[in-house]
Amino acid sequence: MAIKPIRLLVRRKLDLDLTGPHGTVAFLEDQACRLSDVFGLDCKRILEDMRSGDYENAVQVFDREFGSHVDLYR
């Protein structure tokens, strides 16, 4: 193992397949809270937004909040 400079750190996006078990609202809510902790966001506010509509709304809110860090597939 080599010690490398931090500038070489590659940030990769998470991939979530919405057609499988990772496509449930419960899973997306769990991921939203985990990612909120990492990025210092308000999980309660995001969950309220996700729960304010149907499944498509939940996906859209998740994508709006975390789309720069997570790729969603369906």
The predicted pLDDT at position 2 comes to: 82
Report how many domains make up the chain. 1
The predicted pLDDT at position 57 comes to: 98
| pTM for the predicted model, two decimal places | 0.84
Residues of the chain below pLDDT 70: 1, 8-10
The predicted pLDDT at position 4 comes to: 78
d(Cα 53, Cα 56) in Å, to the nearest integer? 8
**Residue 35 placed within a domain:** yes
**Contacts made by residues 1-5, CB under 8 angstroms, sequence distance 24+:** none
* Amino acid sitting at position 39: F
**Residue 19 placed within a domain:** yes
Domain residues for the domain of 55 are: 6-73
Neighbours of 48 (CB within 10 A): 11
How do residues 1-13 score in pLDDT, each as one tens digit? 688 777 766 678 8
Q: Of 17, 12, 11, whose CA–CA distance to 59 is shortest?
A: 17
**Residue 1 placed within a domain:** no
d(Cα 46, Cα 5) in Å, to the nearest integer? 35
The predicted pLDDT at position 10 comes to: 67
